[in-house]
Structure 1
Amino acid sequence: MTTEEKLVKKRSSYKGRLTMFISYLDTVESLKNSDIAELQLRIGKVESLYAQYDEVQLQLECAADDMQSQLNERSMFESQYYKALARAQNLLTKYNKSNNDDACSENVTRASNHRLVKLPTIQLPKFSGSYENWLEFHDTFSSLIHTYDEIDEINKFHYLRASLEGSAAVVIQSFEFSASNYAVAWKVLCERFDNKRLLIQNHVSALFNIDPISRESSVVLKRLIDNLNKNLRALE
């Protein structure tokens, strides 16, 4: 089997997984409490699917003699992908709205508990210890969790631990899981990775190590520009 045939086979697998997700959505007309966790897990898997598809599709585009046919393939996949993801997010939005309407007729304590139940529907950022991704993680987590006063400290600590992977998770691994330790764990994490010298060095290095364009392609050129802009904005 040639390299191109292997790539096409991989792409077919990713397209098949998207089709399975769409078929699942067809079976879910209205969400129950028992369906929420499953839908959230499926959305998380589908969100990671695009990066896998994009990597394979980009290789096929770079090697293709007929670029237009490959771009048509990408266009069809992206159309299905974004429609399916939007459809799933709409289901979650309707579920949340329904719960909010029900909560209005209950007391303040009950309403607060409902909000805590719905919080896991937020797609939290993941951070594995790469300085390249620190600023994005820090700003997103701060906005969604750290500065959100309605979340208590013990839940903030839970979300922080769930968002960390690899070497980043090791930094706060020794902290006992308690409300009083959240602020300390967050401070230690920031002290470890919010190192301006290393952040600058990382982004400058990334600028000088961007993969060169070996074949003319609008897709590859856009990716080059995006990588340049990403690192330049981070330096600013």
Structure 2
Amino acid sequence: MEWINSLNQAFDSAQTSLERLDFAEISSDHRIEFAEVFMDVKAKLSRGLAAHRKSQLPASTAANSTSIDITNNADLSFRSRKPRLPNLEIARFHGSYSEWPDFLATFTTVIGNDDELSDIEKLQYLRSSLGGVALETIRSLEPSNANFKKAMNLLVNRFDNKVLHFQAHVQAIFGLKGVEKGSSKGLRELSDCMNSHLRAIRTLANTQQILDGLLIHIVTRKLDQRTREKWEEDLSITELSTWDAMESFLEKRCRMMVNLDQALETQTSGQQKMLKALRC
């Protein structure tokens, strides 16, 4: 048993060295595949040793050891299956704000709260569950126990944003495809997607905030590029915008543009009078 445990440590050391040399190794399934084979072999070896020891015991003690063997084997079987738990499906996260809450909850439940996994193993699972900009966010972190929490903090700071989650769901609602005539499948997909986004939005905002958010989205799509940029500059990064704020912004923007137009007209009129006087 000591030999097989040392083999596990040797593999872990070798795989870690490979991952430091080539980041592509991080997203490979080598660790998972080895863990499955390792625990399966260890379980069979343990059962074999237990059976051998029992055969060496006197008949009187063999019966008494039966319940212990059953308990040990059941516990061993559970432990041998434990590393397989992270193989549960975790949808890969590529950086979509609307998908972050579900990904975080699933990953935390399946991987993050598993006390039998070391932090470096959790980091490997995390890397293999990411793609796109999400993976780029933590790519520079080397595989180590200390860097798992750093990686999670980086992702939370980047993607755990109530405002961006809300906006992503609103944009998704307005981006839903129309239903083709007579398509029951299309109608079902539209209904399911709409309800899914609404359920998510209701966890982020109350009814008035949802209404304001929908109105703001409709109006901002009608604005010119410069006005939209000015509106975005004034937005809070932590609190949802209100229609009152949008109304105030539009009023302020209108006044400013009217004043600029009047100033331009006055300047143009003055220049025309000056040119006329010079010609006389």
Amino acid at match of 2:140: S
> Quick one: distance in 1 between partners of 2:108 and 2:87?
17
Pick closer, same or farther for the CA change 1:183–1:115 going to 2, 3 Å.
farther
Amino acid at match of 1:133: E
Structure 2: gaps spanning 5 or more residues: 1-31, 48-69, 203-280
Say if 2:162 is the partner of 1:196.
yes
> Quick one: distance in 2 between partners of 1:113 and 1:176?
29
Deviation of residue 148 (structure 1)? 2.1
Amino acid at match of 2:72: S
Aligned to 1:105, what secondary structure does the other structure show? helix
Deviation of residue 182 (structure 1)? 0.2
* Residue in structure 1 matched with residue 133 of structure 2 by the alignment: 167
Give per-residue Cα distances to partners, 1:57-88, cap 9 Å, x unaligned.
Answer: xxxxxxxxxxxxxxxxxxxxxxxxxxxxxxxx
> Quick one: distance in 1 between partners of 2:112 and 2:125?
10
> Quick one: distance in 1 between partners of 2:191 and 2:74?
52
* Residue in structure 2 matched with residue 126 of structure 1 by the alignment: 92
Structure 1: gaps spanning 5 or more residues: 1-35, 41-94
Say if 2:138 is the partner of 1:176.
no
Deviation of residue 207 (structure 1)? 1.2
Structure with the bigger RCO (C-alpha within 8 Å, sep 6+) is 1
Spell out the pairing of 1:144-159 with structure 2 (5 A cutoff). 144-159=110-125
**What is the aligned-residue identity percentage?**
36
> Which among 101, 112, 120 is matched to residue 135 of structure 1?
101
Say if 2:177 is the partner of 1:226.
no
The answer as to whether partners of 1:104 and 1:111 remain within 8 angstroms in 2 is no
Deviates more, 1:132-141 or 1:112-121: 112-121
Give per-residue Cα distances to partners, 1:143-190, cap 9 Å, x unaligned.
Answer: 111122222211111100010011110000011110111011011101
> Quick one: distance in 1 between partners of 2:74 and 2:190?
54
TM normalised by structure 2 equals: 0.45
Deviation of residue 204 (structure 1)? 0.8
Pick closer, same or farther for the CA change 1:113–1:180 going to 2, 3 Å.
farther
> Quick one: distance in 1 between partners of 2:74 and 2:199?
46
Spell out the pairing of 1:1-236 with structure 2 (5 A cutoff). 105=72, 114-115=80-81, 117-236=83-202
Aligned to 2:89, what secondary structure does the other structure show? coil
The answer as to whether partners of 1:132 and 1:199 remain within 8 angstroms in 2 is yes
Pick closer, same or farther for the CA change 1:117–1:184 going to 2, 3 Å.
same
Deviation of residue 112 (structure 1)? 8.5
Give per-residue Cα distances to partners, 1:102-141, cap 9 Å, x unaligned.
Answer: 6953698x77873454235322321011112112211111
The answer as to whether partners of 1:125 and 1:163 remain within 8 angstroms in 2 is yes
State the structure with more CA Rg.
Answer: 2
| Aligned positions, number | 141
